[in-house]
Amino acid sequence: MAKWSFAFFLTLLALSVACRNGAKQLRNSINKQQRNTIVELHNQLRNKVASGKVLSQSPAQNMKELVWDNEMAQHAQTWADGCVFEHDPNRKDSRGQYFGQNLAMTMTSAQNNVNNPNIEYMINAWFNEVYKYGYTGGFNHATGHYSQMIWASSNKVGCGLTSYSSSKMYNTLLVCNYSPAGNVLGEHAYVKGSRNCGKFRMSDSKKFNSLCA
């Protein structure tokens, strides 16, 4: 029988320890290598936008470098463990601040695929919404994954990953949380122009030539 797979994605403006839908959970963790991949790929893509090298996107004066945040990751993993492809309705951190959230899910008939989830594919799929984005300056539902990924003030990311079986399919759910939340209605994703971190009381990133720290 031929093997096949496909993917779904959700985005949002921004508890259980087992599958809430009765599915069988197969794995539920992100290792160090995957964590590093998530942070590095996000920052590479943010830097590319901030430098003005993406389609019609203007460069950014104030886009921050993302760092891994354990609290965001804990929230993300707890929500991913529910094995439900929908957003967490209670997105507040320990200080009561809202955080943003992107979701992606792959489905396949091949069980071995859950042991090597293609995280890069899911993150790049979020980013590829840029082809529909142009530069509106803010949030719209069709491109919300992309705008959250490049939201200048978001400087923390933490993700959770779970794989589970349901109806003879093998699913992998990726949940990434961002703080502070992006996709704020009425606000712009970033300030257009060449990097000017000092203007916003930030320093230049030591690793990425168009990001701030």
**Domain contains 213:** no
Residues 6 or more apart in contact with residue 170 via CB below 8 angstroms? 26, 107, 108, 109, 110, 111, 113, 114, 163, 164
CB atoms within 10 A of CB 25: 16
What pLDDT is stored for residue 1 in this prediction? 43
What range defines the domain where residue 12 resides?
A: 5-200
**Domain contains 22:** yes
The predicted model scores a pTM of: 0.88
What pLDDT is stored for residue 135 in this prediction? 59
Say whether 126 sits in a helix, a strand or coil. Answer: helix
What pLDDT is stored for residue 11 in this prediction? 45
**Domain contains 205:** no
Binned average pLDDT, 10 residues per bin, the chain of 213 residues: 47 51 84 97 99 94 99 96 90 94 91 81 96 72 93 98 87 96 94 98 98 98
Q: How many domains, in total, are found in the chain?
A: 1
